[in-house]
Amino acid sequence: MLITNFFDECVLVDEMRILQVVHEFPPRACGGTGIYTYSLSMELSKIHEVFVLYLRYNGFRYVFNYSKRNGLTIYELNIPFSEQITRLFSFKATYIDAKVEEKFRELLLIIKPDCIHFQNLIGLSASLLRVAKEKGVPTVLTLHDYWFICPMTLLLKNNSTICNGPDEQSENCFICWNNMQAKHLADIWGKFLPPKMFSEKLFESTLMKINSKKKFRERKEYMKSILFNADIIIAPSLSLRNIFVKCGISQPKIMYSSNGYNLSAFKGFKKKKHGNLIFGFVGYIAEYKGVEVLVEAFNWVDSMDAELRIYGNFDRKAKFFKYLQTKKRNNNIKFMGKYNDVKDPYSEIDILVVPSLCMETGGPLVVKEAFATGTPVIASNIGCIPEFVIDGVNGLLFRTSDPKDLFKKIKTIIDNPYFISEFQKNIVSPRSITDQSKELEEIYSTMSCKYARKVK
């Protein structure tokens, strides 16, 4: 069956040359978007020839590292360290890079793809969408974050509250980006030089002189216009789709398609038996993930039979980790560190806690991992999360950023542990990557057919 909402019927193409473009890719990086892109690429490669382009900051030149891995043809684009420094100061350089464009044009001539699926363009160049359009290559864009709307990608203000997007003149983006970038620069230079020499205020005033308000208005208009170069835009949640529609993207152009998951990663999964009731956090240890809210809420837990385990890679010398240590007052809060097998944390915990402060866009990934293992979830009532975690059915929702409300939900489970088994009965396994890849194959093929007709 074809996606006739977008294109007229035509004959499906049996084998295609598909290019996946993403900002990160395993094993260099293992974020949610990179993992998803890898799983999708591997599934598609069972039938099609799949190429992957991703970036790496390395060396002194824009150059490709070519490799073959697990049936995939991979082009790692080295972006020089000097460009990374430029992007710390120049706002426009964070979303347009003419040299990346040039290398992308070279790559299109080499591989001659039948279609391109842009997963994420952060660190590359938003203009690659326009280049693909100019070259007559059909394109799909999946929205994994808010980067096309928000320069900081998360739609979060500096005080970790939700932002509604750029105001009419993008003045809020001007203030937010320069402020956040100044903090980042002060943190970097503070490791090597006295704070008086490179203070946060000095960086902020310098950045505001370099990056005027006009440049932020220009980005807003440019990013909106560049989205129209994509043939299809995919939103992995309805809430994300609605936000982009409100920002002026035509509703028929954005289709909803829940991200698939590599369910084979949990083959042979078993829960371990233990005496305590174990709550768990799994993922990136960062402020916007709400870890502080979770630690504060669990500080009020006085039951010796309840434990919180925090799984995720963290730097013990990092400022945020040190700050979390000062907030911890309950000895039953344990930082477990990095895990190598995705099954490991879920085999230990009874219920996952997802205390995100930001507007999650596609699940998030840890919720799908939890449901794949029959693990209920307590989560923030924000973004797309309520589309997947149904309060009182397969988990519980709490007011975002509210440790007291989170504590109430934790206490509800401690006082009524049988809720866990009740929630487990209602958990539906997430969509498989195999299922979604079939849907995407039809979209790719239909687009290729449409473009072929234009050429004729």
Strands (E), 227-315: 232-235, 254-256, 277-282, 306-311
Domain covering 263-425 in this structure, CATH number = 3.40.50.2000
Instruction: Give, in order, the Cα–Cα distances in Å from 326 to each of 56, 290, 407.
Output: 35, 16, 19
Can you give the pLDDT at residue 320?
84
Between CA 446 and CA 136 the distance in angstroms is 14
Instruction: Give, in order, the Cα–Cα distances in Å from 69 to each of 37, 50, 52, 63, 266.
Output: 14, 11, 10, 19, 22
Can you give the pLDDT at residue 450?
65
Looking at residue 355, the DSSP 8-state letter turns out to be -
Can you give the pLDDT at residue 317?
64
Is-contact 13 114, C-beta < 8 A?
Answer: yes
Neighbours of 67 (CB within 10 A): 11
pLDDT along the chain (456 residues), means of 10: 45 81 91 93 96 94 95 96 91 96 97 97 97 96 96 90 91 93 81 68 89 95 95 95 88 91 92 92 92 97 94 77 90 92 95 96 91 97 96 98 98 97 96 96 86 53
Can you give the pLDDT at residue 319?
79
Between CA 291 and CA 273 the distance in angstroms is 26
- The residue with tokens 């289709």 is 255
Can you give the pLDDT at residue 12?
56
Can you give the pLDDT at residue 191?
66
**CATH 3.40.50.2000 domain extents, the chain:** 17-151+220-260+433-455, 263-425
Can you give the pLDDT at residue 13?
60
Can you give the pLDDT at residue 199?
78
CATH homologous superfamily of 17-151+220-260+433-455: Glycogen Phosphorylase B; (3.40.50.2000)
Can you give the pLDDT at residue 2?
38
| pTM for this predicted structure | 0.92
Radius of gyration of the chain (CA): 23
Query: Is 352 exposed, middle or buried (CB count within 10 Å of its CB: 0-12, 13-18, 19+)?
Result: buried
Can you give the pLDDT at residue 132?
97
Can you give the pLDDT at residue 59?
87
Can you give the pLDDT at residue 3?
41
